[in-house]
Structure 1
Amino acid sequence: MRVWLAFAAPFLVLTASVSGAGGQGSMPDPTREYNQQVDCHNAYDRLVSDRKGGNTVSAAAIAWAQGYEAGANAGTPCPAPLPEMTARGGHWQIRTPEGRDATRLYIERQKDPAALMELGLSWINGGVPGGTPQDGLALMQEAAKLGDPVALYNVGTLYSAGIVGGKKDHATGFAMIEQAAAAGHVDALYRSGLYYQEGLGTKKDPKKAFAAFKAAAERGHLYATIMAVDMINSGTGTKKDFALAYRLSRIVADQGEVYGAVMAASSLLQMKNPLPHEDEILYWMDQGIAKGDDTIRGQLIPLKQQVAGAFTKAKAPPEYKPRVRKACPMKTVCVVNHYSGLQSCTTNKDYWNDCDG
């Protein structure tokens, strides 16, 4: 049995309204960054902010902060953030004067690339007084020269957008983003896939584009998953491997992304024999219906009925059809009497034919 969706597999609901971008049920937010950057500098600033806000700080965190301050004064590397700090996730930017001053010491005394990047990013975004956006860009460019992946990604993006240099420089932007991708920056992996796909700053290379999207998808990047599954669906840069498409879709589906659920169901439906996956397909369609917006539900509900009906039909025993009876033809046989010379004929059914009577 071959069951096909009425829409291209990974884009089943991409026609949904984007007015609610970023919500669970509508188009995902294309500006969302997935790289979780937790280093000693933003971790320290977050602890300072917690204490100022009256939040409880563990004894282990206080001891760690003392070690961080000692490293800033002594010119020695800062301690790695504690697991409790990394568990809170990234995207924190320096916003306290104490965090700014400690980070400055790490810059002045040991040219710490992460310190350059963190303070530069904060000044670009106006997170803490003490420097202009231009000062922040200079710090981030210095961090990029020292190989900091986050700085490489951000500065490369600015070059490509034309914010640095006054015109779009995709070649420089691509080179920096490729460095960040090689260091494991998940958003840089996704972005490098776009550069290879479109031929921005480099030659078009569908195979390299798919490899980059796949690597980012394996780390839970939703848009990279959409791109990778679409390339599998069309056989561009890779073979049509719907088992792989399902595996990639499951990563984001298990995170609660409605698009992941839709892609998971769609990938299973496009396998050579989707019947063994009936329960999974209907489960993921139910997830899409439960979590999707009105547009998604409006597409999935009738489609689920169609798919469920196809499965029911495929599992049903063959319909009984009585054999059509074939009438035997009539055959006339004539005999001539040797004595009288008279002819006599008889007409009967020709049972020697393939017939039923």
Structure 2
Amino acid sequence: MRMLLSFAAPLLALATASSSTTANADGVMLDPSREFHQSVDCHNAYDRLVADMQAGAAISPAAREWAVAHEGAANAGTPCAPPLPEMIARGGNWYIRTIEGRDTAAAFYHKQKDPAALSDLGIAWLNGTVAGGSAQDGLEMINEASKLGDPVALFTMGTIHASGSLGATQDYARAFELLSQSAAAGHIDAIYRVGLHYHEGLGVKRDYKKAFEQFRAAAERGHFYAIIMAFDMINSGRGAKQDFALAYRLSRTVAEQGEAYGAVMAASSLLQMKDPLKHEDEILYWIELGIEKGDENIRTKLIPMREQVIAAFTKAKAPPQYVPRAYKACPMKTVCTVNHFSGLQSCTTNKDYWSDCDG
């Protein structure tokens, strides 16, 4: 077992080093700034439907009915209905880009101060996806939406203050405050960034335990970089118990996406469990996947390591080597007797078999 455990450290080092440099299954470099929060609300869902209709795409009857109701709510000044499951299934990160979507969202804001509508409009103008306002106008709208409690706006303003971008003064304390509010509302990227602030002591006292809690919360929802951070903290015992079953479960979230470093993390986690022999097939499977999906650097290190791991498993499963019992020669023992009649003594010398020395 000790021999098998010795492979966990180099696998862990390889996983950590690869996490920021490995291309994914499509050959695209992983982006540390990638956002995982799926922001699908009634405003960008409506705009997406409009864009689909303008492009001649087929729209379901339920979606058409929902769109009509959405327009009616905008005119009546009543809250919009949640997006349909089919809209949510398409994912978020859609910016308003049609005039109809822009004007309908504006109606929701002006008539009922809908913070999500204001946030969506601001982000659209900040990114230049629809006419009607400048990037500065968009930034001011996002800031106003953050004051109204919109999670996406809170996250956006938090990242702006953390980086000191778009003319803002870098203020980690303010960034932490805004990101914490967004995280409390369930924004997955905000949860991850709050973990980073705790981990690095940015705008808040460094607290590894709280950092791990945030990373795990985001990791449980599939945030890749939160998984990497949580995995690293579990392995090092920094702010977390060395729970390799948890490390493996989190690693699989990445590995099952075909990410090479996720497969390496999964193999490393299994090798550090109490009985890695029970997980032989899984360990070798993840190593093979790492070889298949990894770049040249990963393959160069994993291919010889795979052979060494196989050899270690073979040796660990081999029966104990037979060692014959050592033969011990019995010592000689002399026994003398005296004849009662003649008084003569007679002696005999034989091996001392009574000691069972021959086994």
Same fold at TM > 0.5: yes
What SS does the aligned partner of 1:131 have? coil
Supply the distance in 2 between the matched residues of 1:304 and 1:26 (Cα, whole angstroms): 26
**1:155 and 2:157 equivalent?**
yes
1:144–1:151 CA contact under 8 A, matched in 2: yes
- The one-letter code sitting in structure 2 at the alignment partner of 1:118 is D
> What TM-score results when the alignment is normalised by the length of structure 1?
0.90
1:1-49: CA deviation from partner (whole Å, max 9, x where unpaired): 2422253554423434966655556863212110000111111111111
2:260–2:290 CA contact under 8 A, matched in 1: yes
- Following TM superposition, by how much is the alpha carbon of 1:106 offset from its aligned partner in structure 2, in angstroms? 1.1
1:17–1:295 CA contact under 8 A, matched in 2: no
Supply the distance in 2 between the matched residues of 1:15 and 1:145 (Cα, whole angstroms): 40
- Following TM superposition, by how much is the alpha carbon of 1:225 offset from its aligned partner in structure 2, in angstroms? 0.6
Supply the distance in 2 between the matched residues of 1:6 and 1:275 (Cα, whole angstroms): 13
- The one-letter code sitting in structure 2 at the alignment partner of 1:100 is R
**RMSD (Å), alpha carbons:** 2.8
> Paired residue for 2:231?
229
- Following TM superposition, by how much is the alpha carbon of 1:307 offset from its aligned partner in structure 2, in angstroms? 1.5
Supply the distance in 2 between the matched residues of 1:101 and 1:11 (Cα, whole angstroms): 52
> Paired residue for 1:338?
none
- Following TM superposition, by how much is the alpha carbon of 1:163 offset from its aligned partner in structure 2, in angstroms? 2.2
Supply the distance in 1 between the matched residues of 2:326 and 2:29 (Cα, whole angstroms): 56
What SS does the aligned partner of 1:117 have? helix
- Following TM superposition, by how much is the alpha carbon of 1:333 offset from its aligned partner in structure 2, in angstroms? 9.8
1:331–1:349 CA contact under 8 A, matched in 2: yes
Report how many residues are paired.
357
2:8–2:268 CA contact under 8 A, matched in 1: no
Supply the distance in 2 between the matched residues of 1:199 and 1:19 (Cα, whole angstroms): 25
What SS does the aligned partner of 1:184 have? coil
Q: Bigger shift: 252-261 or 152-161?
A: 252-261
Cα distance, 1:274–1:239 mapped onto 2, change above 3 Å: same
1:94–1:118 CA contact under 8 A, matched in 2: yes
Structure 1 or 2: more helix by fraction: 2
Consecutive unaligned residues of structure 1, counting only runs of 5 or more, are 336-343
What SS does the aligned partner of 2:214 have? helix
> Paired residue for 1:289?
291
> Paired residue for 1:114?
116
Alignment of 1:1-357 (within 5 A): 1-2=1-2, 3-4=4-5, 5=7, 7=9, 10-16=12-18, 21=23, 28-163=30-165, 166-327=168-329, 355-356=357-358
1:87-113: CA deviation from partner (whole Å, max 9, x where unpaired): 100111011111111111111111111
Supply the distance in 1 between the matched residues of 2:90 and 2:262 (Cα, whole angstroms): 24
1:190–1:212 CA contact under 8 A, matched in 2: yes
Consecutive unaligned residues of structure 2, counting only runs of 5 or more, are 338-345
Supply the distance in 1 between the matched residues of 2:20 and 2:196 (Cα, whole angstroms): 21
What SS does the aligned partner of 1:15 have? helix
- Following TM superposition, by how much is the alpha carbon of 1:199 offset from its aligned partner in structure 2, in angstroms? 0.4
- The one-letter code sitting in structure 2 at the alignment partner of 1:201 is G
2:192–2:218 CA contact under 8 A, matched in 1: yes
Q: Bigger shift: 205-214 or 257-266?
A: 257-266
What SS does the aligned partner of 1:7 have? helix
Q: Bigger shift: 4-13 or 278-287?
A: 4-13
1:268–1:277 CA contact under 8 A, matched in 2: yes
Cα distance, 1:66–1:283 mapped onto 2, change above 3 Å: same
Cα distance, 1:156–1:24 mapped onto 2, change above 3 Å: same
- Following TM superposition, by how much is the alpha carbon of 1:166 offset from its aligned partner in structure 2, in angstroms? 4.0
Cα distance, 1:30–1:92 mapped onto 2, change above 3 Å: same
The alignment-based identity, stated in percent, is 63
Supply the distance in 1 between the matched residues of 2:76 and 2:18 (Cα, whole angstroms): 56
Supply the distance in 2 between the matched residues of 1:8 and 1:148 (Cα, whole angstroms): 44
Cα distance, 1:238–1:24 mapped onto 2, change above 3 Å: farther
Cα distance, 1:150–1:101 mapped onto 2, change above 3 Å: same
> What TM-score results when the alignment is normalised by the length of structure 2?
0.89
> Paired residue for 1:339?
none
What SS does the aligned partner of 1:13 have? helix
- Following TM superposition, by how much is the alpha carbon of 1:129 offset from its aligned partner in structure 2, in angstroms? 1.2
- The one-letter code sitting in structure 2 at the alignment partner of 1:35 is H
What SS does the aligned partner of 2:9 have? coil
What SS does the aligned partner of 1:119 have? helix
